């Protein structure tokens, strides 16, 4: 039987390595070489066996599965390099990362035992959060914010199909790497406002 979570992890780290390689080789003059390295080198790196297991197993063990939203955003980075396509424009990206930072701050603080409310515990096999995300996505589509709507719809579909091993929708929506990146973006955004 095919392990969907392992395929998801392989795809995730393929994208991460492709972004890293693209950044490292961006100064090369031979664009065909850059594109070939970006597309094929991550595949070779991930399947290289180390102590009997492919490297992707060790990466997954070290970081866990990244959220579906993080993988979509990373996919947007790599497709943007090839096709000049962006999931979020500047304004919607600012609002998105501010929202992720605020929700993630509340989420991680309460998950550490501060306060009586535990949003992670409430989301096990819950229908409330998926329906809330879909309702927000419908509102975003009505406001013509299709990239933001995509970031809410795809994790719900992945959650309902059981793509990851987790049965908690928070694992499909948020991860520490996304929250840290959002925090960096928010502090830069706030710093820019203060300097103005």
Radius of gyration of the chain (CA): 18
**pTM, full prediction:** 0.85
CA atoms within 13 A on the CB side of 26: 9
Mean pLDDT of the chain, nearest integer: 84
- The pLDDT > 90 percentage for the chain reads 31
Tokens 């928010």, residue? 186
Alpha-carbon separation of residue 122 from 12, 116, 167 (angstroms): 27, 12, 12
pLDDT in tens, 93-126: 888 999 999 999 988 888 777 767 777 777 776 7
């Amino acid at each position: 039987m095919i392990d969907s979570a392992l395929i998801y992890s392989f795809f995730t780290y393929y994208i991460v390595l492709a972004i890293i390689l693209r950044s490292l080789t961006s100064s090369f003059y031979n664009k065909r070489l850059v594109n070939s390295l970006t597309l094929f080198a991550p595949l070779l790196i991930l399947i290289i066996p180390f102590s009997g297991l492919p490297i992707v197993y060790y990466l997954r063990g070290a970081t866990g599965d990244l959220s579906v939203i993080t993988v979509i955003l990373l996919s947007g980075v790599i497709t943007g390099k090839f096709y000049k396509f962006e999931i979020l424009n500047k304004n919607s990206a600012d609002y998105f990362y501010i929202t992720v930072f605020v929700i993630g701050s509340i989420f991680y603080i309460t998950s550490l035992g501060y306060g009586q409310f535990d949003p992670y515990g409430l989301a096990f096999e819950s229908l409330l959060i998926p329906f809330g995300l879909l309702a927000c996505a419908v509102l975003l589509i009505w406001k013509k914010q299709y990239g933001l709507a995509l970031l809410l719809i795809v994790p719900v579909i992945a959650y309902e199909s059981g793509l990851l091993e987790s049965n908690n929708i928070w694992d499909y929506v948020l991860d520490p790497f996304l929250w840290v990146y959002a925090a960096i973006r928010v502090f830069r955004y706030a710093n820019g406002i203060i300097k103005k």
